Structure 1
Amino acid sequence: MTLKDWLLTAGLAVLAGPALADGELHIYTWGNYTNPTLIDRFEEAHGVRVTITDYDSSDTAIARIRQGGHGFDIVVPAAVVTPVWIEEGLLLETNPAEMENFIHVDERFRSPSFDPERRYTVPWLWGSTGVTVNTSAYDGDINTSAIFLDPPSELRGRVNVVPELADILFLAIRYVGGDWCTDDRDVLRATHQALLAAKEHWISIDYGSLDSMVGEDLLATVTWNGAALRMRAANPDLHYGYPREGYPLWMDSVAVLADASNVDNARLFMNFVMDPENAALITAFAGYANSITGSEAYLPEELLNAPEIIIPDDLVEAGELMLICDPAVMDLYARMWMEVMQ
């Protein structure tokens, strides 16, 4: 699936006559990803006290839930791993299509391949993985994965890479001419060699690159488009590139955990985030696109035209929704990634 199937739409309307519920709701989600105003509105509308606990990777999240005894009600899994959550019985079948606000979900997002017919999840945000470059240090083409796989001399030694197996391997495999989920040994050998050769030019493999990019300790980083938008807001020399060799699109969704203690409140939250006005709050905070029609009416003007969200026409086709590969292929990728990370 290419970005042609993934259009930024939005719209917002407040919940009419909200149902009130007592108690608590415990959300387990990515760090710095939830608008406090959204939570305040939900608490006020439904009389529910919300707590949020952060995680920094999909592996961290699923490992903690597998252990049990976590006390969480809601999780926000990425599309690439959502089938694993479902197959392992970690999510509750909530049938969001029966919820009042499901009518606001854009038709393109109503039955995604990672959760057909939306039996378990509702949309949160979606976006892309690319590169951010300090264009005061480098004025060449930034729409390429060469920024981190064969860095120009101006950037070498000041490049960061996020420690995300799927995102980095997707970019690297496409850079050497392969397709995501390939098990072609020649492609994988070329990918492995490209990563090992590039690593000597990286200064870090870290999530927290925003401050270092803004302060210009780093000159380039692999990152997500919403983070790139926040970087540019703090330093106008920082620009986001969409690798023309191919880049992944991703989507995060809200799901209720199978062992949740506050299921009714979790369902209320799922319905709440599909309201257009609330979806706009989510986008405005994180800087990523949502899939709720009508939310654009509530978005800040700068987000409607942000280059980190509106992909250039000539780079649209290079985007592809990243889904999980067969277990045998993912095992190959994991072993390759472990060697790169050593």
Structure 2
Amino acid sequence: MKLSPSRTALLAGLALLAQPAFAEGKLNIYNFGLYTPPELLEKFVETYDVEVSLTDFAANEEAIARIQAGGHGMDVVVVSGYFIPAYVEQGLLMEVNAPAMENFANVADEWKSIPTDPERKYTVPWVWGTTGVMVNTKVYDGDINTAAIFLEPPEELKGSINLVPSMNDTIDMTLRYIGAEPCTTDRESLSKARDLLLAAKENWASVDYPSFEKFINEDLNASIFWSGAAARVRGLNEGFAYGWPATGYMQWMDHVAVLSDASNAENAKLFMNFIMDPENAAMISNYTMYNNGIAGSEPFMDPALVSAPELAVPDELKSAAIEQTLCAPEAQDLYTRIWTELTR
């Protein structure tokens, strides 16, 4: 989840680590930008003598469009949980029977089955987090556990608010804010949500995947944001804090899957098993600053990350979590109409 990426054709330096040829072939990974620890791939190369390449994308929609077009050359894709059905329905994922993998025993009980892959036929956990709001508390010292930060902004934040271009998350949180349910097709509720967003837009600075520097330098002082990314920003500017809107915030998990046309399927399965090792899962968390779904990983995690406030949802706000969902076609079409009007 997920900032603007920089494309990597071949992970720099990996070739120097292998001996002396790549006897076991290749592995081509397709993942969100700033979401793959270089040291994880280095360790995989050293362990399995496999040549690894990494290609980044910005959003689930971008990734699936490239895969649908064919000729992509990828073996492994990281996909958000709510997007898994779109891949499965189109036959884009290979059945891998993750529970039969040696390290699947390390998966925490709450993640052994997920609504969009209940038997874990296709996926294993990568990381999980939330989408809420991030605010510079040096500028605004009021309640930040509210979607009013971007929907009815306080005077102090007007003109320095960013909205990450995540359509479903934005509209879902807006619907909850007005007392409606996500994925509704009720025109009155959707019209009310649209009007609120259009009025709020006048107070935003941007709809973008902004660089961290814009927050660190305080050109932007608030945003819809992801928990792990917010932890990174706070590490560079302690004025920023992360909030979970009490009316509803998003909870999600991203997963690793093997593409049905993978050229290196066995290496892809090795990688899936590899990342379910607690030490390797901790490596992913330490880099991305998100929780992982692997039991026993915490002792290997950075203590500062384990105690990071962005990763610990307050007990009184846990019930406000909204599971990310890809709406039914009718609702999704109505969302798209609102989003098109909002972003044009």
The two structures have a TM-score, normalised by structure 1, of 0.93
1:273 paired to 2:275: yes
1:306 corresponds to which of 305, 308, 319: 308
1:247 — aligned with what?
Answer: 249
Q: Which moved more, 1:324-333 or 1:92-101?
A: 324-333
Separation (CA, whole Å) in 2 of partners of 1:58 and 1:142: 28
How has the CA–CA distance of structure 1 residues 21 and 187 changed in structure 2, closer, same or farther, with 3 Å as cutoff? farther
Contact 1:133 1:219 in 2 (8 A): yes
Counterpart amino acid of residue 282 in structure 1: I
How has the CA–CA distance of structure 1 residues 113 and 21 changed in structure 2, closer, same or farther, with 3 Å as cutoff? farther
How has the CA–CA distance of structure 1 residues 21 and 91 changed in structure 2, closer, same or farther, with 3 Å as cutoff? farther
2:57 corresponds to which of 55, 58, 62: 55
How far residue 220 of structure 1 moved from its aligned partner, in angstroms, is 0.5
Trace 1:148-297 onto structure 2 (pairs within 5 A).
148-297=150-299
Contact 1:209 1:221 in 2 (8 A): no
1:331 paired to 2:333: yes
1:38 — aligned with what?
Answer: 40
* Equivalent position SS for 1:213: helix
* Equivalent position SS for 2:267: helix
% identity of equivalent residues: 50
* Equivalent position SS for 1:117: coil
Trace 1:11-26 onto structure 2 (pairs within 5 A).
22-26=24-28
* Equivalent position SS for 1:320: strand
Contact 1:160 1:209 in 2 (8 A): no
Residues paired across the two proteins, number: 323
Separation (CA, whole Å) in 2 of partners of 1:86 and 1:251: 17
Separation (CA, whole Å) in 2 of partners of 1:210 and 1:44: 32
2:111 corresponds to which of 109, 112, 135: 109
Q: Which moved more, 1:120-129 or 1:323-332?
A: 323-332
Which segments of structure 1 move beyond 3 Å, counting only runs of 4 or more?
A: none
Separation (CA, whole Å) in 1 of partners of 2:184 and 2:36: 35
Separation (CA, whole Å) in 1 of partners of 2:67 and 2:130: 26
Counterpart amino acid of residue 34 in structure 1: T
* Equivalent position SS for 2:215: helix
* Structure 2: segments with no counterpart, 5+ residues: 1-21
Contact 1:129 1:222 in 2 (8 A): yes
Separation (CA, whole Å) in 2 of partners of 1:234 and 1:81: 32
1:28 corresponds to which of 6, 30, 34: 30
* Equivalent position SS for 1:197: helix
Separation (CA, whole Å) in 1 of partners of 2:118 and 2:325: 13
* Structure 1: segments with no counterpart, 5+ residues: 1-19
* Equivalent position SS for 2:113: coil
Larger RCO of the pair (alpha carbons < 8 Å, separation 6+): 1
Separation (CA, whole Å) in 1 of partners of 2:285 and 2:26: 24
Counterpart amino acid of residue 76 in structure 2: I
Separation (CA, whole Å) in 2 of partners of 1:82 and 1:73: 16
Residue deviations 1:224-265 (CA, integer Å, cap 9, x gap): 000000000000000001101101101100000011100010
State the superposition RMSD in angstroms. 1.0
